[in-house]
Chains A and B, each alone.
Chain A
Amino acid sequence: SQTIHQWPATLVQPVGSPLSLECTVEGTSNPNLYWYRQAAGRGLQLLFYSVGIGQISSEVPQNLSASRPQDRQFILSSKKLLLSDSGFYLCAWSSGTEMNTEAFFGQGTRLTVV
């Protein structure tokens, strides 16, 4: 069966520090991968999605970036965090072969920038 791992679960980082959040998927190949951010009182904002290795689409211009170095690995990064980067970050995957994109989510990372 397919599983998705996201870590760390919680993270407290000072303003200006770098960020690296990792997400890996097991039990499937060529998944579509997504990074969402959920800010307090707001919905899920799609940040990045990827349909293949090295293929990254950015939805919102900001100081975050994403990379997909391997088929089932998706990394969210920042060189210098801002206070506004605080939030709940969710990684998700969906089947790369179907258009009915039911997504499966990780447990999330709660990032607090101080």
Chain B
Amino acid sequence: AQSVTQLDSQVPVFEEAPVELRCNYSSSVSVYLFWYVQYPNQGLQLLLKYLSGSTLVKGINGFEAEFNKSQTSFHLRKPSVHISDTAEYFCAVSDHSSYKLIFGSGTRLLVRP
């Protein structure tokens, strides 16, 4: 069975600073990986996804993530954050044989002026 670990429950950062949100996964089969963002009291919106091919994936709002198979990681990065990036970010995994989408516990990104 798959699982996702997001070690950081909250990440505070100053505006215009870079940020990395960590995600590690566990699976015995090949996986698809996703990052979603959730603004307060709303549903989730897809930021980016890794399906296959290039390990560096670019998404919306200037975010990117790198798939590292040997480290089973899919960390999310942004070189310069804005106040509007304050939200909760979820890493998720699904595998090639299941329609289940499993989420991590989320990381709250708090951008300060």
Knowing A44-B90, A108-B43 touch, does A51 contact B99 (C-beta < 8 A)?
A: yes
- The answer to the question of B11 belonging to the interface, with a C-beta cut-off of 8 Å to chain A, is no
Residues of chain B within 8 A (CB-CB) of A34 are: 101
- Contact size range, B: 20 to 34
Interface contact tally, CB-CB below 8 A: 65
Residue of B nearest to A103 (CB): B101
With both beta carbons as reference points, the residue of chain B lying nearest to A32 in the complex is identified as: B99
**Secondary structure class of chain A's binding surface, majority of residues:** strand
Is A49 an interface position by the 8 A CB rule? yes
Given contacts A42-B106, A46-B101, A107-B42, 6 further A-B contacts (CB under 8 A): A43-B104, A46-B102, A49-B100, A88-B41, A90-B44, A100-B51
Chain B interface residues (CB < 8 Å from chain A): 6, 9, 32, 34, 41-46, 49, 51, 90, 92, 94, 96-97, 99-106
For this complex, 17 residue pairs linking A to B, each with C-beta atoms less than 8 Å apart, are A41-B9, A42-B105, A43-B104, A43-B105, A44-B106, A90-B43, A92-B43, A99-B32, A99-B96, A100-B49, A101-B94, A103-B44, A104-B46, A105-B44, A107-B43, A108-B42, A110-B41
10 cross-chain pairs, A with B, having the tightest CB-CB distances, nearest first: A105-B43, A43-B105, A44-B103, A105-B44, A101-B94, A32-B99, A43-B106, A100-B51, A107-B43, A100-B32
